Amino acid sequence: MTANLLPADEFVARLRAVGNHAYHDKHPFHVLMNEGRLTREQLRGWIANRFYYQTQIPIKDAAILSNCPERELRREWIHRILDHDGTADEIGGIEKWLRLGEAAGLDEADLLAHTHLLPAVQYAVDAYVTFCRTQPWLIGMASSLTELFAPQLMSLRIAAFERFYPWIDESGLRYFRSRLTQAPRDTDFTLRLVVERCQTRDLQDQAIAALKFKCELLWAILDAIHHAYVLNPAQNG
């Protein structure tokens, strides 16, 4: 065994510990959301800004693919792009998020034009795309392991929307429901791959750092939204 290489179970435990400590389910904005304490405008602000992130997910995955020389891995990873862009037979996550916006009373043209996009949100999301474009493909993939923690957040979110925000039509929750199955599927593949391919302590540390970076980025996005729509709503009225 390579000197200082973490055993697989300890490596996985350290990856999970990053999310347990820093995943954005603990952010005050999500706490407010899940407790039903957001106003309509605050929820719309989140939906509008998060939409920019949704549009960039297939772009960051395409960036990872462009760095990956292995055909079999590209075949596996490409379904992430289709999940968000959709196909001729099935709408993708971007379209589902547009329907969420419509159900919440947002104008589709405004969403597509990113009329409500906060500069800090755009900066954070663009930084993530740049990270995935410039880092080795394996480290870019490791950053996607925030999906380890997504299903629980999605379950809480669906329950909160159904209970506290009944003014949003049920059809708008389709994106959240799809992630209940997509995220575990994607995580199973990515976690196995990262554990298998990170065969030096340096690579393991890089993978852990990539996941930490992604958690901090998601937190930063919510910081900007919370500041704009909860702490200083007059500036966005």
Instruction: Sketch the domain layout of the chain as residue ranges.
Output: 8-231
Q: What one-character DSSP code corresponds to residue 233?
A: G
Q: What is the CATH number of domain 8-231?
A: 1.20.910.10
Find tokens 């996607």 and name the residue: 144
172 close to 123: Cβ distance less than 8 angstroms: no
Contacts of 67 (CB under 8 A, 6+ apart): 133, 135, 136, 137, 140
Contacts of 231 (CB under 8 A, 6+ apart): none
What span, in angstroms and rounded, lies between the C-alpha atoms of 217 and 57? 13
> What is the pTM (predicted TM-score) of this model?
0.94
Tens digits of per-residue pLDDT, 77-120?
Answer: 999 999 999 999 999 999 999 999 999 999 999 999 999 999 99
What span, in angstroms and rounded, lies between the C-alpha atoms of 141 and 171? 31
Phi, psi angle pair for 83, to nearest 5°: -60, -35
Question: What pLDDT is stored for residue 100 in this prediction?
Answer: 97
Q: What one-character DSSP code corresponds to residue 6?
A: P
